[in-house]
Amino acid sequence: MPRRDFSPHMRRPVTRQNKHGKIGAFGLAAALGVALASSVAPGALAQTMEAALARAYTGNPTLNAQRAAVRVTNENVPQALSGYRPRITASADIGASITDANIPGAGTSTSRLGPRGGGVQIDQNIFDGGKTRNSVGQAESQVLGARATLRNTEQNVLLDAATSYMNVLRDTAILTLNRNNVEVLEEQLRQTRDRFQVGEVTRTDVAQAEARLSQSQSQAILAESNLKTSIARYRQNVGAEPKQLAPGRPVENLLPKSLPAALQGALTAHPAIIASLHGVDAAELQVKVSEADLYPVLGVRGLVQQRYDTSTFGDNRTSASVVGTLTIPIYEGGQVYSRTRQAKETAGQRRIEVDTQRDTVRAAVVSAWGGLEAAKAQIVAAQAQVQAAETALSGVREEAKVGQRTTLDVLNAQQELVSARSTLVTAQRDRVVASYSVLSAIGRLSATTLRLNTQVYDERKHYDQVKGLLWGTQTPDGR
């Protein structure tokens, strides 16, 4: 049986039955090309998977929050670079002073002064034990790690959006299959009652048909509930209600040719692993930053002051000085030593987390690859199952006409056909989702790889804008 794509259209498809009540070729096509009732007006263009992913890429709040986190991390770099730059402070003071003096032989005197003045001080770091240099390196590693985390978040968001898209298609198709089954069983029940009236079947046959109809109605209600849940998830992940969804197709052309190639690519380029490696770099640099507090600090201080009424009324003094400063830590209660040991333990933890992340990625690749292969095989098997179930139902109906089959046999054959069609729909959905899962597991699921029709976020733009900023509190437009 040829593979059929399925997509929802704006109206519930009309089920055509032959004289035996069996859903024919059009019925199966309608079941796989299903509708979201009252979604769009007639003639509206179908929404594609690519359009849904592009919308999720630009509007998903989780992804936008992670972009904001990258911009927050970017600010660590200019903060670290400030250690190379001078620190300039200005100060001013004003006051009043009254002095009464009684000097033997000279009498008494009163002095009233208004001491005031101001000055500018400049402190320039020359050597701080490598603290600034290592802080800058640490900040840059944190930026690279945040970018890798952003790419991993992008993968997760796109995978969730693709899964939601296919879940809506699957659940809409299954709902239509169950509704069509209800119609067929209603017709079957009507025919059984007519035959009961003329004595061809017993009351038991009527009861069996009624029970099977009730069961199918219950399944239709459950399918409708599942569809509502999938629509809610779609709205959460994509940011809009599903309209007229076009068929979803796998992205197997973007995948490696073999599992070993997929594993090799994932273990070297997966953003989660890259983020962990940058986390190791940042942790190791933190050790050096902590150790720097044990080293001497050398700097230069320049000071210019202007003073008035310092000792006599109306005096005016200007002073300037340049002083070299050397601070040598001797003992600070053991705090720096403890912070250094703590940083070393953190670095060891980060190295272990890299191994854990590699194992996680490896398991995800193998699992996703196996899921894709299984989905392909399930489609072939389900297509054969549907074809066989159609043939069996047709034969059972013909045999029932001549009394060789019971009503229960017909009902069972009908149920097997519905189950086979549902299995085919699910397998088609699983193949598409599995292909996206493999692409995500190897670290290549992105707007660039999928060539989505949207502006790709440039995480370097904001970094370039703030890295060299010397002053200013206004946030650059790096979004």
Extract the tokens encoding 2. Answer: 């040829």
Q: Give pLDDT, residue 166.
A: 94
Contacts of 259 (CB under 8 A, 6+ apart): 365, 366, 369
What does the pLDDT look like over 94-145, one tens digit per residue? 988 887 777 776 667 777 788 889 999 999 999 999 999 999 999 999 999 9
- C-alpha 29/C-alpha 386 separation (Å) is 12
The reported pTM is 0.82
Mean pLDDT, residues 12-28 taken together: 37
Confidence of residue 18 (pLDDT cuts 50, 70, 90): very low
Q: Give pLDDT, residue 42.
A: 41
Q: Give pLDDT, residue 52.
A: 94
Domain boundaries, the chain: 25-467
What does the pLDDT look like over 177-202, one tens digit per residue? 888 888 888 888 888 888 788 887 78
- C-alpha 250/C-alpha 427 separation (Å) is 12
Q: What residue has token string 């006599």?
A: 312
DSSP state of 17: B
Confidence of residue 5 (pLDDT cuts 50, 70, 90): very low
Among candidate residues 369, 431, 436, 441, the one with its CA nearest the CA of residue 158: 436
Which CATH fold would you assign to the domain 25-467? Outer membrane efflux proteins (OEP) (1.20.1600)
- C-alpha 3/C-alpha 5 separation (Å) is 7
Among candidate residues 437, 440, 439, 428, the one with its CA nearest the CA of residue 171: 428
